[in-house]
Amino acid sequence: MNQKFDFLPHKLTKDEIALAPSNWIKPLRSYRIKRLRAIWLEDERPSYYTLLTAVMAAIAKKDRHLIDIASQLTKGNMPEYIYQSLVGIALCDMGFKEEGLAMEREAVRLKPSHSNLLSLAADTDDLDEKEELAKKVLNENSKDSDALQHLAYAKYFKGKRQEAERLFDEILKNEPNNIGALEFKGNICLDRKGYDKALEWYLKVKLKPKPISLQFKICRCYYLIGKIRKAKKIAKKIQDKISLVYDLEMSIDKADELLTGILNS
């Protein structure tokens, strides 16, 4: 085996995958296959699969250095917009938001494809930009579920909540198992203190392993509806991992305080 690939971990653990953002769970489950493709297909000229595998490992291992190594090996060996988009997405999901968004915007400038527009829409915190990017895609494909989801998200946080919920319902009518829509429907109910209904939506999300961020929400709902034993069981399992989660919707300190309170209740 070519030693240039030795920096890529041989496998990812179930716990490492569960700590990743929800949108990475399914891709990370195919890590070993992607790693083998990199080794078999790109031995002479490391390119897309090498970078993709490094990005996946970096997300799971929380190690940006893996991306830096892969960048040195692969930059210039694939279209620049692919490089900019893939690394930009990863950096955003690892917390390097400003740098990642700059790369995603460069990818859109180089090639304003639907996938690049939607990646930027997913990561930008500018609600106007998110809505504008989603509409660009919907103008050509009115049923694109990712674009509908980004549009709904933007509208929800702009205060157009009924319209946002209608859009999420439209997504789920066409894709009953859409993970993002199911989780956001749960978030809406949680905001309204409808904890039973929120739990119902969260439990419909079928991901294995179940993301720690989602387990935290389920734990919180069980606690708030008085099912303390179930809440404690989850809290005990995730408390020592919560500080490693990228995409919690509250601060790590507050999340840890809540889990401690549940365990002590």
Residues 209-213 have a mean pLDDT of 95
Report pLDDT digits (tens) over 4-45.
899 999 999 999 999 999 999 999 999 999 999 999 999 899
Distance CA 106, CA 85 (A): 8
Distance CA 258, CA 117 (A): 37
- Report helix, strand or coil for 72: helix
Residue 248 binned pLDDT confidence (cut-offs 50, 70, 90):
confident
Q: What's 208's DSSP letter?
A: S
Residue 144 placed within a domain: no
Give the structural domain span for 197.
189-265
Residue 198 placed within a domain: yes
Instruction: Please give the structure tokens belonging to residue 106.
Output: 């460069």
Residues 6+ apart with CB under 8 A from 90: 55, 58, 59, 67, 100
What are the b/e assignments for 176-214, b being 16+ CB within 10 Å? eebbbbbbbbbbbbbeeeebebbbebbebbeeebbbbbb
Is the per-residue pLDDT at 1 higher than 60?
Answer: no
Report pLDDT digits (tens) over 91-142.
999 999 999 999 999 999 999 999 999 999 999 999 999 999 999 999 999 9
Distance CA 171, CA 212 (A): 24
Instruction: Please give the structure tokens belonging to residue 125.
Output: 């915190």
Residues 77-84 have a mean pLDDT of 97
Residue 246 binned pLDDT confidence (cut-offs 50, 70, 90):
confident
Give me the pLDDT at residue 254, please.
Answer: 94
Instruction: State the chain's mean pLDDT as an integer.
Output: 95
Residue 247 placed within a domain: yes
Cα 237 to the center of its chain, rounded Å:
21
Residue 264 placed within a domain: yes
Residue 13 placed within a domain: no
Report pLDDT digits (tens) over 150-187.
999 999 999 999 999 999 999 999 999 999 999 999 99
Tally the domains of the chain.
1
Give me the pLDDT at residue 3, please.
Answer: 75
User: Closest by alpha carbon to 242, among 254, 229, 255?
Assistant: 255
Residue 2 binned pLDDT confidence (cut-offs 50, 70, 90):
low
Distance CA 1, CA 183 (A): 42
Report pLDDT digits (tens) over 48-61.
999 999 999 999 99
Would you say the C-alpha torsion 124, 126, 127, 133 has a positive or negative sign?
A: negative
Cα 87 to the center of its chain, rounded Å:
14
Distance CA 210, CA 239 (A): 15
Residue 128 placed within a domain: no
Residue 3 placed within a domain: no
Residue 84 placed within a domain: no
